[in-house]
Structure 1
Amino acid sequence: MTEKPRALLPVAIILMGVSGSGKSTVAEALARRTGFAIEDADAFHPQANIDKMHAGTPLTDDDRWPWLRAIADAIDRKAETGWPVIIACSALKRSYRDVLVHGRSDVQIVYLRGTRNLIAARLAGRHGHFMPASLLDSQLAALEEPTPDEPVVTVDIDADVEIIVTNIIDRLALANAIKERSR
């Protein structure tokens, strides 16, 4: 008797988008629904990067490379544990996403896409975050929307968080894999 193929879970799901696109909020809700671990890429920034952003100074690529490599290393460590992880990370450029995926076929990116007006409104209502709303335009200018050859699904953010999470689970075909994992 042949065994049916098991649904494969990604070792990491990277939720990408500009600041204010809902990465952290969606990551928390997705983690609750899937049982995946959760990491916020902001936690991997060195203090110098945080200070620059807090001062309203956009980061350069030279600022970002060590940060991105630290996240990629965290993905590898998480993969060794066998426990999938959701990482909220801006990943605005293709080259950044390439560093994060680093050739792994078990890393999936979800692009949280929204209009400038929607995101600006969200940022205006957010308090206590080190990324000021004034940097939204620089993030939108830096954003390279994902291309079809990347391991990316695009989900619009103009819906309730639970609907966004359901869309992600459906688009990544996670429902059966989650059920299988919980057995």
Structure 2
Amino acid sequence: MQKSSWMNTMTMNPYRIAKKHEYWRFITSGFIHADFTHLFFNLFSFYFFGGQLEYIFNMIFPGYGVAMFVLFYLSAIVAADLPTYFKQQKNPYFNSLGASGAVSAVIFAGILFFPTEKIYLFGLLGIPGFIYAGLFTWYSIEMDKRGRDYVNHSAHLYGALYGIVFMTLTYPQVWLTFVQQIKAML
């Protein structure tokens, strides 16, 4: 099978999911990337936040932490793409790929636990996580409205939202530590 044929089979295409029932695309699209740069940024972000979050999952769910983390990540791939699926299911030309939505879920779940830890934009500018979260949300909304590039900004946004909702439902105490840490910083 040629690379382009393989990529076409794996890519998130809402039309094909709706018309041909190719449901695997919800998951497989999160494991392919457009190019090395796309893959690098997702892996880089996942590396820094994923390890911490997996450790937290092991504390919250003793004996099941790794399984819960994997479940969280895989479900985040799907959850991040659901709004795009409903919006684009009649458009046979829409395609999306990458793990950015799930990585956004991991980052935002991590920010709930460590809201004052600095996130370095391009390795230079360090800003507290909760401020980064606000800026990222604003940027994703604005870029999604414009729709001029080939990035599925709504997947970033809904992935981030999923990370917050998942952690709130599974460990609501996270909000106490979130607020305490921000108060201590101010």
- Which structure shows the higher strand fraction? 1
TM-score, normalised by the number of residues in structure 1:
0.26
Q: Which has the higher contact order (CA 8 A, sep 6+)?
A: 1
- Which structure shows the higher helix fraction? 2
TM-score, normalised by the number of residues in structure 2:
0.25
